[in-house]
Structure 1
Amino acid sequence: MYLEQIKTILTDTLSLGDAGRDLTADSPLLGALPELDSMAVISLIAALEEHFDIAIDDDDISASTFSTLGSLAAFVEAKRGA
């Protein structure tokens, strides 16, 4: 459920265009997408907070959270359930 929404937010935030449609749950993000730099991570977090009405603390953020699209979706799902 969250995966497709997050894929859309990620694609829009990073301006991935057509390349964003090819992302799957196993698609690596951090280190694999040159567009996902530190400033883009901040923009992405803000977009996720706004879209899903969640608060993401600095302590919540780790490289493993942004490892794959699936790990990011699982993180958002856990935040929504909290």
Structure 2
Amino acid sequence: MRADGAVQVEDTVRATLRDVLGLSEARVAAFDEQTPLFGALPELDSMAVAGLLTELEDRLGILIEDDDIDGETLETFGALTRFANAKALQ
């Protein structure tokens, strides 16, 4: 996953948010770098976070350790996408 890897990761993050949180495709397509997530999306509660991270692991073939996640990881769509890129494209 190198050349178009970042695009693939972003698409995967969007699809995972859509599927796990039950969001519409149009709503998730409108997310940009600054779109707030945790605390702003009522669908993204603490239980949904666990499901979201597990699904990202499966879809991206990555391992997310508990200490990989901090308050900023899920703050915005951009932060989550950068995190996923760092894990998937390392």
Q: Give the alignment's Cα RMSD to 1 decimal.
A: 1.2
Amino acid at match of 2:20: T
TM-score normalised over the length of structure 1:
0.91
Q: Is the 8 A contact 2:12 2:60 kept in 1?
A: no
Q: Alpha-carbon deviation of 1:11? A: 1.1
Correspondence for 1:9: 16
TM-score normalised over the length of structure 2:
0.83
* Rg larger for: 2
Q: Is the 8 A contact 1:3 1:25 kept in 2?
A: no
Q: Alpha-carbon deviation of 1:12? A: 1.0
Correspondent of 1:43 among 39, 42, 51: 51
Correspondence for 1:55: 63
Q: Is the 8 A contact 1:25 1:68 kept in 2?
A: yes
Paired residue secondary structure (1:46): helix
Correspondent of 2:80 among 51, 57, 72: 72
Unaligned runs of 5+ in 1: none
Amino acid at match of 2:83: F
Amino acid at match of 2:67: D
Correspondent of 2:30 among 22, 25, 33: 22
Q: Alpha-carbon deviation of 1:20? A: 2.2
Q: Paired residues, what number? A: 82
